[in-house]
Chain A
Amino acid sequence: MPAAGTEPGIGYGIDRRHRAALLAGLLPALLLLVALTLAPALYLFVISLTPATPTNPASLTDFSAPAQNYVSALGDERFIESLWVQVKLSVSTVVVQTALGLGVALLLNRGGRLVGALRTVFLIPTVLPPIVAALIWKVLYTPDVSPLHRTLASVGAPVASLITNPDTALWAIAVADTWQWFPFTMLIILAALQVVPREPLEAATVDGASPLQLFFYVVLPFIRPAIVVAALFRLIDSVKAFPLIYVLTSGGPGTATQVTNYYAFTQAFNYAYWGYASAISVVLTAAVFVLSALIGSRGARAAAHE
């Protein structure tokens, strides 16, 4: 109820007009977002409710058993196994890339032309197209042509192919992925390191804090949000790992490196099970959303706490 003497609705009207103006300004971008991002995602979900396959056009609109693909996925051992492979690859690459990125960022967090040049050199793998990075590692991991294998063989220490051994194939992929992407985490963390204020560092130094104490009690709290963001980006990207696996192992030997993304690819493009592959992709996307939300909220809480 407006107070007596005031003009009811004026402020409300201004707010409304303001909001309408904002909405009108945002509308083109929102429409573009819906058309380019949400609509295809929605279509993916719709297709996942059908037994779609290109050989039977009627299957694209067959919604008689909408949960069938999801039920099938739950009972599909190869899908479950691919999730486990995905977890191993994602956890290992995210942990190693974040730790390595942090370490190298700490080393490079100083002035000087040499350090500046080193930063650029470290970034080269990240700017390579993924397929080029995959080809580089394909050469390195192929005993016939690999300078690595040849050198080791020439000094009397031949090494069996790493990508055809089920015990090493996934880790060989993780190494290649780390080579390409740890500079990305390094870059984000380095940027955060460079804006850590000097005052608390100087105060702690005056109080006699050791370098380790400085790092854990002063620097780390400042850069933690950046580390979380970098890890989150890598986690999301690790789920999309494809070129390395496609080029290096094709998911093998057997299914030792068949991550969920690759499994969905074979279902869609080798077997033409579009509906089933879409269901797998929806599950994968949902899992990434949930994980991202969890990590993001924990990171935000930790930052707020500090």
Chain B
Amino acid sequence: MSSLLSGNRRRVLKGAAALGAYALSGPGARAAGKPFEGVELNVSCWSAPFPKLLQGYLPEFERLTGIKVNYDTPGFLIYNQRVDLELSTRGSSYDVLNITFIYVDRWLRAGWFAPLNDFVKDEGATPRDWDVDDFLLATRKIMSDKQGNLYGIPWTCDCYMAAAGRYDLVTQAGLGMPTTFDEIEKVAAATNKDGVAGFLGDNRHGWNFPPYLQGFGGNVFRRPPDDLMPTLDTREAIAAADFYSHLLRDYGPNGVLSYSYDQVTAALKQGRGNYATEGHIFLMPAADPDSKEAKTVRYSMFPKGPAGQFPGFATHAWGIPVGAKNKRASWEFIKWAMSKEMMMRAVREKGYSSPSRRSVIQSPEFRKRLTLNDNDVSDIYLKTIDLAGGSDYMAYRIVPVFPQVDTIIGQAMERIVSKQMSAAESMRQAQASAIADLKRAGIRL
């Protein structure tokens, strides 16, 4: 990091020189040459598959544009803490940053990222066939404000779906892939035997519980993002908490409360668990050649609850901090990283499984990659994202105070699963805690 910071002055000087050359050269010369030759960009994103694989292609970008890229991918928590601090000072240390899903509202509402509309609409900066509308609507909605200004170009989608690793046991019990919450209960109960846990779930309850909560007709807040009164102690929320914790407590493996997502993946691959509702990237490895469940796994969309179907959805995007000195060069990087060609190459050459462009998702290569044990998971992937794009049910997740409520939901679920409290008691305590924390954050309830 120090190298990034210490390089500031030099970068600014080089950037200014490049801009000067750009201004003097005229459109014809710019088109022919490298208008950003000598510019340095500081780019950062948390450590995820796409930004990591992109790193391998950076020399191509540098050769193509003459731009030098200082690139780092720290862990998720470290990245968010570091960037939160950097953005709050409106600093100019970074030229391109990831806009983290759960910080969207906080970072965008504070005006910490520059709108990208001017770049996207300017044919001089962005060719028409780059096609911003190719990015799935759900992802663009998340990264836009109410006026329709777009602040981030999404590079990933995380879709909540379901997998039955031991579908053979499900069919033996005379059942099929669950389409409702009631059927989840039946499948988990029927397959919870002989060393196989009927249900698997990780300890990120703030991510895993809301799809059940909304399926029961509840929500985290009354009407996010405008009315943030927590609604964790409603009848629907208590029923959902009771159901969700029952699945974990009665059909989960030993120590399920400490399960991380990779333990869920490992349990599926080792044949120690059957049914799981999770983000798609953690369920897909069950069909890998080294998985014991490769021949028996089956996938589906997240089932419907009494009030409907609300699979979780998340996305992250490249954005330009308002303090960035050379935003055109920043856009040059984003345009290159998020082009159709680059995303297609990521799928084809690196097996990337979470693209955000519709054309890539519907391509034969991606469909082939996501056809797992004869299941077309790409279809589930697209339907889930389109479902999220068709309404605003994910709005709860991108409000600035969600991190507080996220922790509170996790603690509430743990109290119920570990039998410290009933669902009603625990959710009432969660509601009281959430109200106290939101008031501390200055939210008017």
Contact = CB atoms under 8 A, between A and B. Distances in A.
Interface string B182-209: 0000000000000000000001000000
A55 B88 contact: yes
B253 A143 contact: yes
Interface stretch (A28-36, A90-98, A176-184, A251-259): A251-259
Given A252-B410, A252-B414, A270 B420 contact: no
A269 B81 contact: yes
Contact of A163 (B258, B412, B433, B440): B258
A163 B84 contact: no
B420 A163 contact: no
B436 to A, nearest CB: 7
A135 B59 CA distance: 37
B311 interface: no
A161 interface: yes
Contacts of B441: 53, 271, 273
Contacts of B84: 54-55, 272
Interface string A220-263: 00000000000000000000000000001111111110000000
Nearest to B267: A144
A53 B403 CA distance: 14
Contacts of B253: 143-144
Contacts of A72: 440
Q: What is the interface residue range for chain A against chain B?
A: 35 or more
A248 B257 CA distance: 11
Q: Which of A51, A57, A250, A273 has the most CB of B within 10 A?
A: A250
B418 A164 contact: yes
B255 A143 contact: yes
B404 interface: yes
Contact of A55 (B110, B203, B272, B426): B110
B266 A253 contact: no
Given A253-B420, A273-B440, A164 B88 contact: no
B402 to A, nearest CB: 10
B267 A253 contact: no
Contacts of A160: 254-255
Contacts of A164: 255-258, 414, 418
Contacts of A266: 407
Contacts of B257: 161, 164, 252-253
A166 interface: yes
A249 B258 contact: yes
A78 interface: yes
Interface residues of B, number: 40
Nearest to A153: B254
B420 A166 contact: yes
B415 interface: yes
Interface in B397-445: 400, 403-404, 407, 410-412, 414-415, 417-421, 426, 433, 436-437, 440-442
B321 to A, nearest CB: 15
A250 B426 CA distance: 18
A15 interface: no
A126 interface: no
Q: Which of A141, A143, A164 has the most CB of B within 10 A?
A: A164
A142 interface: yes
Interface string A136-170: 00000111100001000000001011011110000
Contacts of A253: 257, 414-415, 417-418, 420
B85 interface: yes
A144 B110 CA distance: 44
B410 A54 contact: no
Interface in A281-303: none
A248 B255 CA distance: 12
Interface string B134-169: 000000000000000000000000000000000000
A163 B255 contact: yes
Contact of B266 (A53, A144, A163, A269): A144
B420 A276 contact: no
A116 B303 CA distance: 64
B263 interface: yes
B327 interface: no
A202 interface: no
Contact of A57 (B89, B203, B267, B414): B89
Nearest to B416: A254
B359 to A, nearest CB: 37
Nearest to B254: A143
A61 to B, nearest CB: 14
B414 A161 contact: no
Contact of B272 (A76, A141, A144, A255): A144
Nearest to B77: A269
A209 to B, nearest CB: 52
A250 B203 CA distance: 10
A271 B436 CA distance: 13
B106 interface: yes
Contact of A54 (B88, B404, B418, B436): B88
A81 to B, nearest CB: 11
A271 B88 contact: no
Nearest to B88: A54
A161 B263 CA distance: 14
A155 B211 CA distance: 40
Nearest to B417: A253
A35 B168 CA distance: 67
Interface in B70-129: 77, 81, 84-85, 88-89, 106, 110
Contact of B254 (A158, A252, A271, A272): A158
A271 B420 contact: no
B418 to A, nearest CB: 4
Task: List the 8 shortest-distance A-B pairs measured between CB atoms, nearest first.
Answer: A161-B255, A254-B415, A164-B257, A253-B414, A253-B418, A143-B254, A54-B88, A254-B414
14 contacts: A51-B442, A55-B110, A57-B89, A72-B440, A143-B255, A144-B267, A160-B254, A164-B256, A164-B258, A250-B203, A254-B411, A254-B414, A266-B407, A270-B407
Given A254-B415, A256-B420, A271-B437, 18 more contacts: A54-B84, A55-B88, A142-B255, A143-B255, A144-B263, A158-B254, A163-B258, A164-B256, A164-B418, A166-B419, A166-B420, A252-B257, A253-B415, A254-B414, A254-B420, A269-B77, A271-B403, A272-B84
